[in-house]
Amino acid sequence: MESLTKNGNSLNFNTTEVIMPGIVEPEGLLVKTRVLDNPAAGQVIVKMEASGIAFAEQSMRRGRYYEQPKFPFVPGYDLVGTVVAIGPGVDPALLGKRVAALTKTG
């Protein structure tokens, strides 16, 4: 799960991530801020507005999901947000569009 803020006037964005470091209770989750790279060819950056916490994330936190990602990872099976940056080869009409995505992890 991420949130984005513009890093000054540059094209870089700061993101805040919730990280599952291993099998932990909710208070054991980590919060980290980092600068995102500009999107590569065919990629976009989405400013997330909402993401659910449901069965999949709870199962992943316990290490019991049927397609368990390796720890550490950023959870976030689904999200809704706005495209704020596009990489080479991406249709410019997507910039500023509201989108939904199934990502499995952040």
Residue 84 makes CB contacts below 8 A (sequence gap 6+) with 4, 13, 45, 46, 47, 95, 96
H or E, element range at 59: helix 55-61
Is the pLDDT reported for residue 2 higher than 60?
A: no
Domains of the chain listed by start with CATH number: 2-102 (3.90.180.10)
The whole-number pLDDT of residue 1 equals 43
What's the pLDDT score for residue 76? 87
* Region 72-80 average pLDDT: 93
Which of these, 47, 50, 51, lies nearest to 75 by C-alpha position? 51
Predicted local distance difference test score (pLDDT) of residue 11: 66
pLDDT value, residue 22: 96
State the average pLDDT over residues 63-68. Answer: 94
pLDDT at 8: 47
Please count the helices (runs of H) and the strands (runs of E) in the chain: 1, 6
Q: What is the pLDDT of residues 44-61, one digit of tens each?
A: 999 999 998 889 999 999
Segment 6-37, tens digit of pLDDT: 544 456 789 999 999 999 999 999 999 999 99
